[in-house]
Structure 1
Amino acid sequence: MLLATTRPPSFIKVFSGRSLRCTSSSSSRSVVPLAHNALIPSNGNATKQPLIILHGLFGMKRNWNSLSKAFYQSLGRPIYTLDLRNHGSSPHVEPMTYAAMAADVLAFCRKHHLEEASLLGHSMGGKVAMALALNPELPLNLLKHLIVVDIAPAKAAMSPEFQGYVEVMKSIERRHVTSRQAAQKMLTSYESDPAIRAFLLTNLAPHHGHEPVRFHIPLDIIGKSIPAIGDFPYEPGERTWEGPTLFIKGSKSSYINHRNIPIAKQFFPNMVLEELDTHHWVHAEKPNEFKKVVVDFMTSH
C-alpha cells in the first residue's frame, strides 16, 4: 500500500481547476487552459520548484491524487497535477499532437509563473514532458528536472489494442447500456485484465437511474489521434535538453528497450535509467518504490 494519508494534512491547500468543455478545431499553436489540482505549502509558495505531473492516455489528474499527496509530504513543494487536452476536465479540442499538448503545458506554467519545475510524465504524458523540454520556446528558468515514466522519445505505431479500446468504448455508448456493470461486461470481451478495464471505466461520466452511460472524453478525437500519439515531434540530434533527466522503466514492459535507449540519450545526454519490477503502470504497481526513486532523484540533483 502507498505510504500516504488518504487526505492531505490541514496545512495543505487544495485547488481544483474549473471544468471546461468545448469542441473546436485548433492549430498546433493554439493552447487551451488545462484543468488542474494543486497542493500548496503553508508558506504560500505556489511558484518555486514545483512538481508538475502529467498522466498518460485515458488517464486524468485524479489518478495521481494519492501519489501527489505523498510527494508533497516528502518534498514540501507545490505539486500540480494536470488534465491534458481531451482528458479529465480539460477542453475537447484538436489537434491532439505532442506539439499542441506541450504548448498547453508551457502556457500553464507561464500563467502560474512557475520556476525551476520538476516535470514528471507517464507514457503519453512522458512524451508531452519530453516535447516541452525540447521545445525551443522553453524559458531558461522553467525546467530543473525531467522525469519520464516508461516511454521513450521514439516514433512508433501504437499497439492495436489502443484503437480497440476506443472502438469498444464507442460501442458501449452506441448500445445505450445503462449501468457500469454492463459496460464492464462489454469491455471484458475485449480486455481480460481487470485493472485495465477499471482504469478505462474511470472515464465514465456520472449517470443516474436508467440513463445510458457515456464517456466524458471525446472518443472521436482520441480515436483519430492514435497515430499522432505514437509519433514524436523531433528527430534524434535535432534538439537536446541537457538538464538532469530520469527515465523509469517497468522491467516487464517493452516501451523502453535496447533499441530506443540510445535515442533517448541523444535527446537527453544527462539521463539516468532506473528500473522497477512492474509492467507499464509503474507508479500504480509499485507506488512506494516509485515515490522513493523520484524523490531521491529530485533531492540529489
Structure 2
Amino acid sequence: MHSNLLLRSRPSCFTRQNLYRSFISRPRYYSSDNQVKPVDLEFLEQIPENGNRTEGALVILHGLFGSKRNWSSLSKAFSRDLDIPVYALDLRNHGTSPHALPMTYSAMAADVLHFIQQRNLSKISLLGHSMGGKVVMALALNPSLPHSVLHNLIVADIAPIRASLSGEFLSYIEAMKRVESMKLRTRKEALEVLAEYEKDPNVVLFLLTNIITPHTSDPEHDYIRFRIPLETMSDAIQEIGSFPYAPGETRWDGRTLFVKGEKSKFINHHYIQTMKDFFPNMKLDTLDAGHWVHGERPNEFKKLVEAFIATEP
C-alpha cells in the first residue's frame, strides 16, 4: 500500500481529548424519526473486475464535515484487494448529497438503508468513522433492519454513547458563516479568515474541502460558499453528539469490529461495557493514532478491515 493513502487533511482537532464531554448521567432522549422521508445520497463506487455490484458490498460513511472524497483511495484499495463493490456515501447535508431536515442519526440511518435497498445490496459490511460510525451503529441496531442485509459492522474510533460536542465545532461553523457573509472570492481569502479561528493548518484545510468557489457565469453565486448548510449544522451540533438508543433497548448480535486510536479519547475504558451491551459479538483493535485513525495509519487500518471482512465464517 502506497503512502498516497494518507488523507491530505488530517485535522488534529479530531485528536484532542476535549471534543466530547460525557453526559451519560443526564441523558437526553430523541425522537426515532420514523416518519422521516429518506433522501437519495450521492456516492462514489468502486466495482470489481467481475462486475459484481451487489453481493458482499462495503458501504463507507465519513465523519462530521467530511465527504465521500475522504475515502476515495481506501475505497479503491478495499475493492481491489477484497474483490468486492465498495460505495463511499455523502451523508445528508454533506458533500453533494441533498440538504434535509432533521439532522439526526435515525434520519441518516434511514438514508443509508434507502441506498442499500435501492441497489439490492446483500451480505454487506458497514464501515463508519466518527459521526459516520454512529450512523452505521444506529442502522445495525434498528429492529426493522432485515437480518440478511448486514454481515459485518466496522466502527472507527467512536462509541455508542450520548455526549456533548466541544464548542470548537460551533466555532468552526461561525467561522464559515463569517466567510460567507464577507462575500469573499478566493480560496486564499477564506483560508485567512478561517485561520483566525483555528491555528492548525490541517484543520483549516479540512474545512476548506467544503467550499464552493465562485461561478463567473452565475451572478447570484459570485462569492465563496460552503457545501454544508451552516444553519442546519449549527442547530444539529447537540444532536450529533447524541445517540438514538440507550443500553438495553436493543442490540445487534452480528460481527462487530471497533478500531480505536490509542491517542484518542473517543473510545475509553468507561465505554467498553456499553459497547458490549449493544454489540455482544464485538472485538476491539487499537492503532497508534489519534481520532483520524484511517488517515494517520491507512495501511494498518486497511489490513485490520480487510482481515475482518475476509475471515467471515
Quick check: TM above 0.5? yes
CA distance in 2, matches of 1:81, 1:117: 13
- The range that moved more, 122-131 or 32-41, is 32-41
CA distance in 1, matches of 2:3, 2:119: 30
State the partner residue of 1:125: 132
> Which of 183, 192, 197 matches 1:176?
183
State the partner residue of 1:230: 241
Report deviation, 1:5: 8.9
> 1:29 and 2:29 equivalent?
no
State the partner residue of 1:9: none
SS in structure 2 at match of 1:72:
helix
CA distance in 1, matches of 2:168, 2:247: 28
Give deviations 1:133-158, integer Å, cap 9, x for gaps: 00011011110000000110000011
CA distance in 1, matches of 2:87, 2:126: 10
Aligned length: 282
> 1:103 and 2:103 equivalent?
no
Instruction: Look up the equivalent residue of 2:187 and give its one-letter code.
Output: R
Report deviation, 1:180: 1.0
> CA 1:127 to 1:5, structure 2 compared with 1: closer, same or farther past 3 Å?
closer
SS in structure 1 at match of 2:269:
coil
Q: Which residues of 2 match residues 235-246 of structure 1 at below 5 A?
A: 235-246=246-257
Instruction: Look up the equivalent residue of 2:238 and give its one-letter code.
Output: P
Report deviation, 1:29: 2.4
Q: Which residues of 2 match residues 118-197 of structure 1 at below 5 A?
A: 118-197=125-204
State the partner residue of 2:263: 252
> 1:202 and 2:209 equivalent?
yes
Unmatched 5+ stretches in structure 1: 7-25
State the partner residue of 1:270: 281
State the partner residue of 2:304: 293
> CA 1:47 to 1:4, structure 2 compared with 1: closer, same or farther past 3 Å?
farther
> 1:86 and 2:93 equivalent?
yes
What TM-score, normalized by structure 1, do the two folds share? 0.90
> Which of 32, 42, 50 matches 2:49?
42
The ranges of structure 1 where at least 4 consecutive aligned residues each deviate by more than 6 angstroms after the TM superposition are none
Give deviations 1:45-64, integer Å, cap 9, x for gaps: 11100000000010111111
Contact 2:262 2:288 in 1 (8 A): yes
Instruction: Look up the equivalent residue of 2:211 and give its one-letter code.
Output: L
CA distance in 2, matches of 1:5, 1:167: 31
- The range that moved more, 89-98 or 36-45, is 36-45
SS in structure 1 at match of 2:239:
helix
Unmatched 5+ stretches in structure 2: 7-32
Q: Which has the higher contact order (CA 8 A, sep 6+)?
A: 2
Give deviations 1:199-258, integer Å, cap 9, x for gaps: 111000133579421111111111100011011000001111011100011111110111
CA distance in 2, matches of 1:230, 1:211: 35
Report deviation, 1:287: 0.8
CA distance in 1, matches of 2:266, 2:213: 33
Instruction: Look up the equivalent residue of 1:171 and give its one-letter code.
Output: R
Instruction: Look up the equivalent residue of 1:300 and give its one-letter code.
Output: T
Identity of aligned residues (%): 54
Question: What is the root-mean-square deviation in Å for CA atoms of aligned residues?
Answer: 1.8
What TM-score, normalized by structure 2, do the two folds share? 0.87
